[in-house]
Amino acid sequence: MRASKHGGVGGGGVAENNRGISGHVYTLHQRLSHALSLGTRYYDEKELKWKCTDIEIQRHVVRSIAAFLDSVLGDTVHHPLVKDSVPQIVGALIWILQYKSGAVLSMAINVVVKLFNTLPDSVLRQYILDLSLPLLSLLSFHQLEVAVSCATALNIVLSSLSVRQEKQAWEMLKETKTVVCIITNMESFSAETMPIDYFQEMAYLLSAILWRWPLFRYLVWNDSILMKLLESLHVKPNLSVKVAVLKLYSSIGLCGNGAKKLLENGEALVQTMVHCMDSSHSPFRVEGFRLAQCLAADQQGCLRLTKLCCEPLVKAIVCGMNRRNCHSGKVSTDHMSLLVGACRLALITRWAGDHHSYFWKLGIDKVLLDLVLENFQKHPSQHLLSVEEQISMAQEGLNANFLLVLRPYVWDILGWLATHHEEGFNLYMHGNELHINILITCACLAFVESIRKGRQIYQNDIIHTCRNESASRAVLMMMYSPCKYIASKTRFVLSEVLKPNGKEYLKHLLHSINYTSSGDDIGLPRILPTAVYMVGLTCYLGLPHYRKQVIKGDGMKIVLAFLKWCLSNHIHIKRQSFAPHLNIEKSCCCECTEEWEGKDVLFLYGLWALAQLVHKTGSVRNSQDMLSGELNDKEAQLVSILEEIRNETSTYGPRWYAAYILSHFGFYGFPSKLGKRIGKALNMEEDTDMQLILANGESLNVHSVLLAIRCPSLLPPDEFPCDKKTSGDMSPNDADKLSGKLRKEVRLSAHVDCQALQRLLEYAYFGYLEAGNELVKKLKPLAKCCKLQPLLQLLGRKSPKWGTPVPSSDLAPALGPLGQHFSLAFGEGASRDIILEAKATELMCWTCTVCSLSVPHMHVHKFILRSSSDYLRAMFQSGMQESHSRIIRLPVSFEAMIKLVEWFYTDRLPKPSSGCVWDNMDTEEKIYELQPYVELCSLAELWLLEEVQDACFGVIVTCMDSARVLSIKLIQIAARFSLWKLAEVAAEYLAPLFCKLRDSGDLEELDEFLIDMVRAASVRLSQRGG
């Protein structure tokens, strides 16, 4: 017999089409076909649909579908008979779900679950959206059993979506307000009257939606009622509820704003999370680790987390990484998930902090070694092994390729632990020597293997190269570790491992780097091995006997060519691009500071190598000679490259290494735009309020508030409170004491050299200085006395310490108590302060702690305004009435004025809200956010502040690009301020919408001139074929 395409019975060909299925399956299919036929009808004489309001028939069909699916096992799911049945099954289920009969709904939803659990995604994918829509409408069904089943089904159905379907599904979820519905359901939950699985399934569904569609996260973390409910539930003893809450928290924490919200009052949450991480139940532990990864995704999150719960957190991580905790002796799939989660969280070692000492104390070295070598603990008398025997044992263990998926984590963790190792921390005290020695040996072997295989590696073997990069980087960081034991041991072992073929491998490295620098290939397959080669070269430079070979092989020329290649090709790449284990999937709204290498990891590796060449070989002339004469061509080229990297890149690591190398040429510090502006005030007598008087009677006029921020130790100690609080921590009482003790004249010690003091003041004002060797000798004790650690480090030509931030030129503390009271300390100084007064609004109530003005205003410093604006400088010097007035009235709102003042003091223009906060604003709220930038555009044009104008313009255009609907409001505001360039841009954004806006009547808001502007932009667009 043969089944027809619609489930009917055919003629003699049935046996052939029925081949591969049992008679039982065929019988159940026949019954299903008969049941479906009871509700199948032709509509409009064309389309065949299933539609039946009879509850008994619906129940009969659902049962027939369930019975048929129960019989479909193994390879039967791919049989044509099964596949051909799917359209009719799905059609019937959709109708039954839409009909919403409580008597049959639970059965039908359970069959949907069975359908997706039985048949492969490839068969069902085209029906996912059609099935999801009726399920979404049932989430708030009055029967709790139906709602729970519906949430379970949706969780399964949505997990089968393809990437292509995500946008359509998002639109559907948005239109049906699914997230709001789930939140409402959860907020109505009562443990006393409702089943616990109601909350669990809703939480699981919401978590799945937030994980896949980041834009919904705001609705959850911004709902205070729901957040309070979750806060009350995660401390309950029910473990399944804890898991559901932690899973939801993990999805919320993928949003940077959501993670901050979770940590606001996070002590109880963190305790629960760590408790789950330390639990004996694997699912609880995995969820705990996932949440911790989200909360510690950046340095600030890590610091907050470790401040709340440091030792227990580290203990849970180390315990989670311990594969010996697996009772079966083998690493199961669940245990592997736990190991990966724990290793990923252990990457918090990339930031310095108290947690490092706990990692060492809790035996992280032993745990790491156990993840690299499967049977290390079985080797007897390891303490008695020679270096050669240790190398042999380590090589044998590495050859077993044990837990390769964890290897990048292990190498990174080892490297970070070595980098942030405290110099005074004693490895012997904690019994770490043996394990560290073997780990170093393993890393060195992996490093050499990466170079050896690099000669044969296929460029598309990204995974292998990523693993090589992690191992090579670990060796690099151990070689230059602050811990002398780790650094010396790594150099010794690496030298031993390199003995057979080290020189040959070095030639290959130099050749490969040179080849890359001379080509035009800037794709990832070329960049990735080059990064490994540059790390390798830097490691070689740490070994004296190979350093000579690098110099003979034109190493300096090759490294310089590499840096020029990176600059000329604008190669900016983050390490995460070729180290995928560092990425957190689906994260959003992360305003975290970049890693120390940031998006310029190639620069960092190249500069690290160059620093070793310059510092160790003494390959530059005396800085005194260079400053007094001309730089030769090679030196000038090198300085030019280094200055471009130091001044133009935003990443701390490359900037520090560029500055470190430049210190060998007599250039010290970090120039900045703000420093260049404020530096003008150093040689201006106007507005100075303090004299520094040397022992020989010479004096220098300075601005006390600037020294109080950038070089406070230059002022007499008794002029500051005993506890030396910063301006942010200073109380009004402290400020009053401070203002009463300051003197206008400060007499300096006879040991202070005038020329050295002048250079030090240049550093305080400009952020950098130039000095020859003789002057450096005089500057060192002065910089040490003034506690200018970054300058002292450069003067001493000490290698940069990983993670050290670039010294800030920020003068924002001058806007707080410190700045105000330094100004008010002098009678004449007070008159030099300026008040910027904003436009008053009816709704704004204003009080000031400094003066009695009742309108919105800010107290600022005249020398900062004078240095920042040619317009204001001319006004102050004009002799007109405005030049003597203490009040400058600005034609902008207070919000705009705050942004302008912040730029004056920090060279940063505050950004508007972004991410999910911006996306969830309505049009009026977004316009309110952008209005100050439009006002500043206009004022900046008047005050000749081109940088401010460009920055504001960029902010506005970026926001219009994300929401074109804003353009119709912004074009009107731009016209009101006569900002015609901005109005033209807004017209360009409105051009594609011109016909739609005209037909809807929205253009009627604009005057004729602006309508013509938009029409002209639309015509230009059509002429371009847009």
Q: Tell me: the pLDDT tens digits for 565-605?
A: 999 888 888 888 888 888 888 888 886 566 899 889 999 99
- pLDDT tens for 390-436 read 899 999 999 998 999 999 999 999 999 999 987 766 665 556 688 89
Q: Which of 176, 210, 245 is the last residue of a domain?
A: 176
Instruction: Name the more confident of 18 and 928.
Output: 928
Residue 40 confidence class, pLDDT cut points 50, 70, 90: confident
Yes or no: say if 314 and 358 are a contact pair by the CB < 8 Å rule: yes
The pLDDT value recorded for residue 755 is 94
The pLDDT value recorded for residue 721 is 43
In a domain, 531, yes or no: no
Question: Looking at residue 70, which CATH number applies to its domain?
Answer: 1.25.10
Yes or no: say if 943 and 871 are a contact pair by the CB < 8 Å rule: yes
> Two tokens at 318?
């180390």
Decide if pLDDT at 249 tops 60: yes
Instruction: Name the more confident of 931 and 328.
Output: 931
In a domain, 904, yes or no: no
Q: How far is CA 424 from the centre of its chain?
A: 32
Decide if pLDDT at 156 tops 80: yes
In a domain, 99, yes or no: yes
Strand pairing category for 690-693 and 833-837: unpaired
The pLDDT value recorded for residue 234 is 85
What domain range includes position 71?
1-176
Residue 455 confidence class, pLDDT cut points 50, 70, 90: low
Rounded-to-integer distance, Cα 185 and Cα 895, Å: 39
Average pLDDT over residues 997-1009: 89
Average pLDDT over residues 438-448: 95
Decide if pLDDT at 719 tops 60: no
Which of 757, 764, 747 has its CA nearest to residue 682?
764
- pLDDT tens for 190-199 read 888 889 999 9
| Residues 6 or more apart whose Cβ sits within 8 Å of residue 647 | 671
In a domain, 141, yes or no: yes
Residue 344 confidence class, pLDDT cut points 50, 70, 90: very high
In this structure, the dihedral spanned by the alpha carbons of residues 343, 345, 350 and 355, taken in order and rounded to 10 degrees, is -110
135-139, 574-578, 887-891: range with lowest mean pLDDT: 574-578
DSSP conformational letter for 573: B
In a domain, 298, yes or no: no
In a domain, 883, yes or no: no
Q: Which of 176, 194, 221 is the last residue of a domain?
A: 176
Decide if pLDDT at 381 tops 80: no
Residue 7 confidence class, pLDDT cut points 50, 70, 90: very low
Residue 670 one-letter amino acid: F
Decide if pLDDT at 227 tops 70: yes
C-alpha dist (Å) from residue 244 to 231, 418, 476: 12, 38, 42
Strand pairing category for 690-693 and 745-747: parallel
Average pLDDT over residues 476-503: 94
Average pLDDT over residues 121-138: 94
User: What's phi and psi for 699, nearest 5 deg?
Assistant: -140, 155
Residue 109 confidence class, pLDDT cut points 50, 70, 90: very high
In a domain, 519, yes or no: no
The burial of 2, by beta-carbon neighbours within 10 Å (0-12 exposed, 13-18 middle, 19 or more buried), is given as middle
- pLDDT tens for 813-861 read 999 877 766 665 544 444 357 899 998 776 667 777 778 787 888 999 9
DSSP conformational letter for 125: G
Instruction: Name the more confident of 873 and 386.
Output: 873
Q: Which of 176, 206, 222 is the last residue of a domain?
A: 176
| Average pLDDT along the chain | 87
> Two tokens at 246?
């932690």
Which of 477, 484, 382 has its CA nearest to residue 428?
484
The pLDDT value recorded for residue 634 is 79
Yes or no: say if 551 and 617 are a contact pair by the CB < 8 Å rule: yes
> Two tokens at 31?
């019954």
In a domain, 753, yes or no: no
Going 662 to 664 to 666 to 669, the CA torsion angle's sign is positive
172-176, 708-712, 830-834, 896-900: range with lowest mean pLDDT: 830-834
Residue 735 confidence class, pLDDT cut points 50, 70, 90: very low
Decide if pLDDT at 12 tops 70: no
Give the 3-state secondary structure of residue 859.
strand
The pLDDT value recorded for residue 716 is 75
Decide if pLDDT at 698 tops 70: yes
Identify how many contiguous H helices and E strands the chain contains and give both numbers.
Answer: 54, 10
- pLDDT tens for 627-660 read 555 667 778 888 999 999 999 888 999 999 999 9
Strand partners, 588: 255
Residue 45 one-letter amino acid: E
Decide if pLDDT at 727 tops 50: no
Average pLDDT over residues 998-1014: 90
Give the 3-state secondary structure of residue 312.
helix
Instruction: Name the more confident of 672 and 468.
Output: 672
Residue 778 one-letter amino acid: K
The pLDDT value recorded for residue 438 is 93
Q: Structurally, how many domains does the chain consist of?
A: 2
